[in-house]
Every structure is written in structure tokens, then in C-alpha cells.
Amino acid sequence: MLKLIKQTAFATAVVATALSSTMVSAAEKAMDTINFGIISTESQQNLKTTWTPFLKAMEEKTGYKVKAFFAPDYAGIIQGMRFDKVDVAWYGNKSAMEAVDRAGGEIFAQTVDATGNPGYWSVLVTHKDSPLNSLEDVIAKRGDLTFGNGDPNSTSGFLVPSYYVFAQNNISVSDFKRSMNSGHEANALAAAAKQVDVATGNTENMDRLKITAPKKFEQLKVIWKSPLIPSDPIVWRKNLPESVKGEVYDFFMEYGTTGDAQELAVLEALQWAPFKASSDLQLLPIRQLVLFKNRIVTENDTKLSKAEKAAELAVIDAQLADLNRQQSAITAMAQ
């Protein structure tokens, strides 16, 4: 009797495995179209013009029909992925985070800007003759310094330094002798003219300043760079068949890497260089910034009782601490 039970169980397992394999094979065979989501950064017509050659190349290389999926807003692409109407998509980091957390998405590639950078960095700049040479110098002498902070709505000029410079070092903008808020260019020019001792900015703006005001650029030095603010990710839905993922991944990793002039021209129209492999870990800096922004909102929420505020802040701080540990591990591995 025991032998019969074992034989029956084995046979059932074999049948279940066969059925599962058949179902997977059928699903992969049935899928002949990849719906590619494109976030609405500009008019649909402009997006079609720049994206069509790339999507046609993807069709030729993968063997799947590739259909552009446009929506009037980012949420439409996220929802499309959530309900399996979008298979692969180009997102910004914030929208990618929503797709990963709420729509079953997974990052597998990252765009690279035309100059080869996988993103950009927030910076602190000062005059080239300044005795300040590091963030540690700024922190130590902050009571005697005039600080050029960024626009409160700027990620790289305000939010990033607010977290990485101030919050992580338990200091405040109010610690400086004086501070003011300006845009990237105004801050850089003020530092070059010694109107402020140190100011925020970003690497993209510094590159532009090198072209638009080279003499002013020569008067500056960068004394601190933030962790990378990553370039836009490419995301697929996790439940995409593995064979489809393989074809898509190979296409993205190979496109433009052989020096083919046509492929490079297509990427140039998108303002990109060849792609790089990536993962959900790319979102760590963005998660830190979003949590920090939420912390500021919670701290300033007058509707919360003292106990409620303390409880919410404790949860956010624990989440930030976990992300900090992950970021430190990644940084250590990269060195």
C-alpha cells in the first residue's frame, strides 16, 4: 500500500511538472508582441519620431513585434505594467520606484547620457583659491562661512545636499554665518566671484558652465560630490517569460556597442550612449531622498501629536538606516 502511495505521488508530481512546463511554453509561444512603455516627457509625436527607429531595431533583433505604449502621464505607464499591458518601459527613477514597488516591475538596464555618464552628481563648489578643500573643512568652519544653497525645489541643489551634507552629519544650514537660496548657475557664479564661500550645484551644470562661462569655470573647484544620482532605468515586468527577458536583455546590452554608425545615431537622437546593466539597487539613492523628504514633511506636520510624530519618525529613521547600510556596502564593493 505504501509503495502504491509513493508511486501515485511520484506520478502526480511528474504530471504537475509537465503541465507547468507546458503552460510556460504555451505562454512564451503565445507572446509575439512586446508592449514598450514610454513616459510622457514631451509630445507624443516628438517621442514617436525619436523612439520609432529604436523600437524597429528591437523588433529586428529580438524577433518580437514591438509596439509603443504611450500614456498622457507617468501613472498610465505604471498602471499598464501593473496589469500586464506594458512589458518593458523607460521610466525616470521616481516612476521606476513606483513600478517596482506597486506594479511588479524590475530594473534590468540603465540609460547612459551621450557623454558616457550613468547619471550626475550634486556638488559643493568654492573659489579655486579657497582654503576649503573638503566637506570636512566646510563642516569645521561653517560658523564663519557664507553658504549658497540651492532652490528648495531642486533635487541636486537642495534635496541631495540637505540629506548627504546636513542630515548625515547632524548639522543645519542655520549653522552657517549666512545662507541664501539661488539656482545652480547663480550659485556657481557667486562662488567664482567670492560672494559666497561655498555653494551647491551639480556636475551637469558645471559642464555647461565650462562652455557658457569658461573663465568663471576656471575660478572654481569642486570639493565634494554626492553619491551618483542615477540616469533613467529600463524596467520589465517580473512575470515576463524568461526567454523573452533573455532576448530583450541581450538587445539592450549589445545595441550601439559594436560601433555601428546607424545604431549610434539612433541613440544620439535619444541623447544616450550604449546602455549599462542595472538592477533595483539603482533606486537606493532615490529611496533615501524620498524618505528624507517624507521625514521633513512629518517633522513639520502640526496635526500630529508628539507621540504620533515620534512614532512615524522612528519608522522613517529605521528605514533610512537600513538603506544607508546597503549604500555603504555597495560603495565599499565599488572601491
DSSP state of 255: T
Residues 214, 150 share a domain: yes
Note whether residue 24 is domain-resident: no
Residues 198, 249 share a domain: no
- As for how many domains the chain has, the answer is 3
Residues 199, 223 share a domain: yes
Residues 317, 304 share a domain: yes
Q: Which long-range contacts (CB under 8 A, 24 or more apart) does 327-335 make?
A: 327/227, 327/284, 327/285, 327/288, 330/281, 330/284, 331/227
Three cell numbers written together for 53: 527607429
Note whether residue 217 is domain-resident: yes
What residues in the chain have per-residue pLDDT under 50? 2, 4, 6, 14-27
Angstrom distance (rounded) from CA 24 to CA 26: 5
CA neighbours closer than 13 Å in the CB half-sphere of residue 45:
0
Q: Is-contact 61 74, C-beta < 8 A?
A: no
Residue spans of alpha helices (H) in 255-305: 261-269, 284-299
Residues 188, 135 share a domain: yes
> Looking at residue 313, which CATH number applies to its domain?
1.20.58.90
Angstrom distance (rounded) from CA 275 to CA 256: 8
pLDDT of residue 117: 82
Q: Tell which of 279, 296, 319 closes a domain.
A: 279
Angstrom distance (rounded) from CA 47 to CA 128: 42
pLDDT of residue 123: 97
Residues 139, 86 share a domain: no
Residues 221, 134 share a domain: yes
pLDDT of residue 12: 52
Note whether residue 78 is domain-resident: yes
Task: Find, among 95, 85, 82, 87, the residue nearest to 39 by Cα.
Answer: 95
Residues 184, 320 share a domain: no
Note whether residue 15 is domain-resident: no
Residues 242, 215 share a domain: no
Note whether residue 247 is domain-resident: yes
What are 18-29's pLDDT values in tens digits?
Answer: 444 444 444 455
| Residues of the domain holding 134 | 119-230
Note whether residue 28 is domain-resident: no
What are 116-126's pLDDT values in tens digits?
Answer: 887 889 999 99
Residues 133, 220 share a domain: yes
Note whether residue 19 is domain-resident: no
> Looking at residue 176, which CATH number applies to its domain?
3.40.190.10
What are 235-262's pLDDT values in tens digits?
Answer: 999 999 999 999 999 999 999 999 999 9
Q: What angle do CA 333, 287, 223 make, to 5 degrees?
A: 60
Residues 179, 149 share a domain: yes
Q: Is 32 exposed, middle or buried (0-12, 13-18, 19+ CB in 10 A)?
A: exposed
Residue spans of alpha helices (H) in 63-183: 74-82, 93-102, 135-141, 160-161
pLDDT of residue 73: 86
Residues 135, 221 share a domain: yes
pLDDT of residue 10: 53
pLDDT of residue 196: 98
Note whether residue 7 is domain-resident: no
